[in-house]
Structure 1
Amino acid sequence: MRASTIMRWVTGLGEAFLAIPFLGGLYVMGSGYTFLGVMFVLHAITLILAIRDFSAKSGSIVGLVTSAIAWIPFLGWFMHAVSAVLLIIQAVTSRPKQHY
């Protein structure tokens, strides 16, 4: 499994946790919004790995946007849910490249 796929799973599951109504918001606010910064860095790492592997980048880009605007109530929840679904779908459908 490629590093970009592993990071998609990590960030996708992290976003899924943050998309849990009230619980995700309480966690973010309880961390002083630090967790949004951590997720931003993880999405940036995932994007770099996806570029290196020539694989899908949209999930990581949406994740970066989500981390930047997730402090807005309800919009943040919606964006976390969209990011989680997109990243998990990309993780499931990623295939290792065949070398000839």
Structure 2
Amino acid sequence: MSATRTMKLITGILEAILAIPVLGAIIIVSNGWMPLVIMLVLHIITLVLAVRVQGPLAGSIVGIVASALGWIPFVGWILHAAAAIVLLVEAFSRRLQRR
């Protein structure tokens, strides 16, 4: 499994956890919004890896936006869900598997 695919899978799963309405909010608020900073760093790393292999970038970009705007209650929830879906689809994409 490539590093890019692994990172997309990890960030996709973490975004899916943060997209669970009450649980995600508790995780983010109880840790002083640090999970958003950590996710931002992970998404940037994933983006750099995807650029190197010329893979799909949309999931990482949506994830970066989700991390930047995740502190807004309902907007954050929608963005985390969207990022999780796009990242997981990209992680299992045949285009990325060939690299």
TM beyond 0.5: yes
Q: Does 1:62 align with 2:79?
A: no
In structure 1, the residue matched to 2:14 is 14
Separation of aligned partners in 2, 1:57 and 1:4: 11
Q: What is the aligned residue count?
A: 97
1:83 shift after superposition:
0.2
Please list every run of 5 or more consecutive structure 1 residues that lacks an aligned counterpart in the other structure.
none
Please list every run of 5 or more consecutive structure 2 residues that lacks an aligned counterpart in the other structure.
none
Q: Give aligned-pair identity as a percent.
A: 45
Query: Which structure shows the bigger proportion of residues in helix conformation?
Result: 2
User: Structure 2: which amino acid aligns with 1:95?
Assistant: Q
1:1-100 to 2 correspondence within 5 Å? 1-93=1-93, 94-97=96-99
Question: Displaced runs of 4+ in structure 1, greater than 2 A?
Answer: none
User: Structure 2: which amino acid aligns with 1:58?
Assistant: A
Q: Give RMSD over aligned pairs.
A: 0.6
Q: TM-score, normalised by structure 1?
A: 0.95
User: Structure 2: which amino acid aligns with 1:31?
Assistant: N
1:29 shift after superposition:
0.2
Structure with bigger gyration radius: 1
> Alignment partner of 1:25: what SS?
helix
